């Protein structure tokens, strides 16, 4: 059991509990050599007994260690303490995007584009190194106090040339952000991550997820069969250009999506450089009578 004040491997002094989930526990610690604060991520003892969980932990460490980028949460080192695997990550001072969305409701169009633009930096680098994240969602995205976006939690990431850790029948990742081909048991590809980026953009500007249900399976069926909703279902004045980006990201057939993160990012750059394209869409009532448009 890890306690506040413990010295891990004669280097990391545990100072506080940051959070706890089903898979593990995260502590804040001080590196007594560098004097910097870090995040210590431990697998729970019961979780560590499962070979699949251990494999995922190793994948996260291996994948992230190869990806050195400001928009990716950096893994500093890995080790074992009292037979529990742990990972030392950079400490991100800020909130995850899920908490921010709960507090704010939604983001402005420009803010949302900037967040996805920064995520494209992270995901593009990962794809360049053959790493597919497979779980891009707000709870795995962190925003520093300075507005820097960082993608973390590569625990179910997959190398494009690696073997599966789980069977074809398992839904790995949150079904809310899972591409239809993956919901059907197919292989994850870079275009599966692009699908997730589209859903994240949808959620950022609307405050809603496109599909929901009572179970992962029910949501997965909707991802496969149901028409993807327009963001105008929730925000009626969504600019056409943003709607077009989202709908291209989330085409049911992966071949119809952006062929790369760089192509998606190029369209985002065009919008960020053209404020007129980001003006809220006006209803006919605004054009004729000057009434305020409905959000």
Picking from 205, 60, 202, the residue whose alpha carbon sits closest to that of residue 135 is 60
Any idea what DSSP says for residue 22? S
Picking from 168, 173, 201, the residue whose alpha carbon sits closest to that of residue 186 is 168
| Coil vs helix vs strand at 141 | strand
- Calpha distance 90→142 (Å, rounded): 12
- Calpha distance 134→228 (Å, rounded): 20
Other beta carbons less than 10 A from residue 21's beta carbon? 10
In the chain, beta strands by DSSP E = 7-8, 12-20, 24-31, 37-43, 75-81, 84-90, 94-96, 131-132, 141-144, 149-151, 158-159
Catalytic entry in 99, 135, 153, 161: 135
Structure tokens at 229: 């909703």
Residue 68 CA: distances (Å) to CA of 73, 90, 123, 129, 293? 9, 12, 12, 11, 44
Decide if 135 is catalytic.
yes
Contacts of 197 (CB under 8 A, 6+ apart): 116, 119, 120, 123, 136, 249, 261, 264
Catalytic residues: 135
């Amino acid at each position: 059991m890890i306690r506040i004040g413990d010295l891990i491997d004669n280097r990391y002094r545990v100072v506080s509990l940051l959070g706890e989930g089903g898979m593990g526990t995260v502590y804040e610690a001080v590196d007594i050599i560098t004097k910097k604060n870090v995040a210590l991520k431990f697998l729970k003892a019961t979780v560590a007994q499962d070979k699949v969980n251990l494999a995922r932990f190793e994948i996260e460490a291996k994948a992230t260690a190869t990806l050195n980028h400001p928009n990716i949460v950096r893994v500093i080192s890995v080790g074992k303490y009292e037979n529990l695997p742990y990972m030392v990550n950079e400490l991100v001072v800020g909130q995850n995007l899920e908490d921010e969305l709960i507090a704010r409701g939604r983001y402005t169009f420009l803010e949302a584009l900037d967040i996805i633009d920064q995520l494209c930096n992270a995901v593009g680098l990962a794809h360049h190194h053959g790493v597919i994240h497979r779980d891009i969602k707000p709870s795995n995205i962190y925003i520093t106090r300075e507005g820097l976006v960082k993608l973390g939690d590569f625990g179910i990431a997959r190398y494009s040339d690696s073997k599966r850790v789980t069977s074809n029948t398992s839904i790995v990742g949150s079904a809310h952000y899972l591409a239809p081909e993956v919901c059907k048991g197919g292989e994850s590809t870079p275009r599966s991550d692009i699908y997730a980026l589209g859903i994240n953009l949808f959620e950022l500007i609307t405050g809603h997820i496109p599909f929901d249900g009572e179970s992962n399976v029910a949501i997965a069926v909707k991802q496969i069969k149901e028409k993807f909703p327009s963001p105008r279902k929730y925000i009626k004045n969504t600019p056409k250009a943003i709607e077009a980006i989202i709908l291209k990201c989330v085409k049911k057939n992966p071949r119809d999506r952006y062929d790369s993160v760089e192509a998606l990012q190029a369209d985002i750059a065009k919008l960020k450089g053209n404020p007129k394209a980001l003006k809220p869409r006006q209803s006919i009532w605004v054009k004729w009578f000057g009434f305020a448009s409905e959000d």
